[in-house]
Amino acid sequence: MALIENLNADCVLKIVEYLNLEDQLKLWKSSEPASRLRSLVSYIWQRNGEHTIELYTFDGDYDLLNEFLQCIRLTVSELTLQYLTMDHLERWRGHTFPNMRQLTYLGDETSDIEGDADIAILVDLFPQLEAIGLSGNTTGNHISRWRNIRRLDLQLCWYLSPKAFEDICQNLRLQTLSIQWQKIDENTYVRSICMLQELEELELDIVYLSRDNISQLLGLPKLKTLRLHDFDQLDDLLWNIGSIRGQDVLTAAFSNNIWMRPTEVLAKLRNLRCLTLVDDEGCADINFSTIIKCFPLLEQLHLENSRIWVNADGIWDVLLASPRLREFSISNHVLYDEFFAFNKSTMNRALNQRTEPLTMHFYKTGNQDMVSKLFKHPKLNVSFSATSSSYSQLPGECTELEFKRHKS
């Protein structure tokens, strides 16, 4: 320990920053109470506004937990708590966290916590929360006491009570909601969600939704984003969405599932301007140009960690099928040599027919020299910067639709 103590403060801080919280705690415990090292570790904790605490992080050392909470209480703004016991949570009482705004709480479904006692403690500890994601045995009681909550994720709350959810929707001005329900409770949940007149983003992990309920949800005055997890009847749901408000869908993102969607369903989104494919490896049995032709007004196409063509000839086929396309990007996917074995005459033909230049972004793809060498044309602008379109956090096999707002 003497060696690290001899380093200057900047070096010590850089070392401590590289350690995870468990190792930082060990370092803190092994140093003298009034030492410079302990002071520097405490400074790192205070400076970091985000922390993750698991069941065994403090290994039952509640004196150390108390020291840690006393240190972070005024600066922490975001916490992730995983599978904590009631005894552990009780130790948090007596501390106040005035700047806490975002909480992810993973409750232990095998624990003996009675009712929603853990949620009641969390409400008392963090009264100013604006965003929370919950899982575990909660029925939803106490959640409506968080009057500042605007973003709520209950997608992993399998024991949620419809009555408690109704109370939440009556009392909170939610802007973002993630939710799941059993088919038998569909009408009750939809009726509750329709109370949320300020809701902008809705994520559904469900197995069925009737056309009438779809129509009600799509009628929410501020709804902009709808995210749907994949399930057997998703095509029927998308068909109904397209029939009701397909003309309003301007942006769509598909996570490894667009190939499973029938073209007659995709064609309901004929006004689509921006399409993003995430984590997609393509489908050898389907011609992507057939899919692109469903979107005659498409202006942007983005591929994130997606390899849907053997080489760049697929890009030129898309350009030939999408005369309005003005921006194309590939990000977070390494381009190997075979990608550059494309037909130069096809590229020239696709670009020559354009009235406006095409901008192509290559971000975190490697092989910049090959891109610069081969992707040359008077109507082609190449960039190696990121685009404003990013769906990296889109869950697997999800579909996300963005609507233009209702006219007031």
pLDDT band, residue 5 (cuts 50/70/90): low
CB distance 172 to 147 below 8 Å: yes
**What's the angle, vertex CA 124, arms to CA 118 and CA 126, rounded to 5?**
100
Residue 311 CA to residue 342 CA, distance in Å, equals 6
Torsion of CA 222, 406, 391, 373, to 10 degrees: -150
At 334-367, the pLDDT tens digits run: 999 999 999 999 999 999 999 999 999 999 999 9
Residue 184 CA to residue 104 CA, distance in Å, equals 28
Residue 89 CA to residue 86 CA, distance in Å, equals 5
CB distance 109 to 138 below 8 Å: no
Residue 96: both structure tokens together? 């106040």
**What's the angle, vertex CA 246, arms to CA 182 and CA 219, rounded to 5?**
55
Share above pLDDT 90 across residues of the chain, in percent, rounded to a whole number: 76
What is the overall mean pLDDT for the chain? 92
pTM score above 0.85: yes
At 173-200, the pLDDT tens digits run: 999 999 999 999 999 999 999 999 999 9
Distance of alpha carbon 124 from the chain centroid: 28
Indicate if the pLDDT at residue 28 is higher than 90: no
At 271-313, the pLDDT tens digits run: 999 999 999 988 767 789 899 999 999 999 999 999 899 899 9
pLDDT at 407: 65
